[in-house]
Amino acid sequence: MEIHAPTKSYIIASVAALVIGTAAYALGLVNADMALNEKGFYAIVLLYGLFSMVSLQKTIRDRLEGIQTSKIYYLLAWVSAGLAIALLAVGLYNAELFLSEKGFYVMSYVLSLFAAVTVQKNVRDVQAARASTAGA
């Protein structure tokens, strides 16, 4: 079975979405009227979310491809992804921000997480396509 790599335009679009989402979130934090420790919390929540979603995607993909993954790591990846989202939700719920600002953070966060998963998927697909053509 031949494995096809994603198109260059799809790869570029997913990387652009990741850059735009994270840059918008970061720009919002830089310009926000909040304490430095609060800005740090939201920055770490973004980084934790990105890492946990990439880790979750990798773990799910490993299992689908028959690569052995421990059950505890698989569960930790799911718990981490849920915690990252919950931390943002609780933080924004308790934040003294306009509803439009909260919506901005949610949308840029979701865009960033989705794009991180897509970029990780593209990396795996490109590697799989190269391996299939090298072995053919």
Report pLDDT for 131: 86
pLDDT of residue 1: 60
Residue found by looking up tokens 């994603």 in the block: 6
pLDDT score of 85:
98
Residue boundaries of the structural domains of the chain: 9-124
| CB 80 within 8 Å of CB 56 | yes
Q: Which residues of the chain have pLDDT under 50?
A: none
3-state secondary structure at position 2: coil
- pLDDT at position 136: 60
Task: Tell me if 83 sits within 8 A of 52, measured CB to CB.
Answer: yes
Side-chain-facing half-sphere of 124: CA atoms under 13 Å: 17
Q: Which single residue is written with the structure tokens 């306009």?
A: 98
Question: At 1, is the secondary structure helix, strand, or coil?
Answer: coil
Tell me what pLDDT residue 135 has: 67
What is the reported pLDDT for 7?
95
DSSP string, 51-116: HHHHHHHHHHHHHHTT----HHHHHHHHHHHHHHHHHHHHHHHHS---HHHHHHHHHHHHHHHHHH
Distance CA 72, CA 78 (A): 10
pLDDT computed for residue 26 by the predictor: 97
Q: Assign residue 70 a region: left if phi > 0, alpha if psi is -120 to 50, beta otherwise?
A: beta
Residue 134 is predicted with a pLDDT of 77
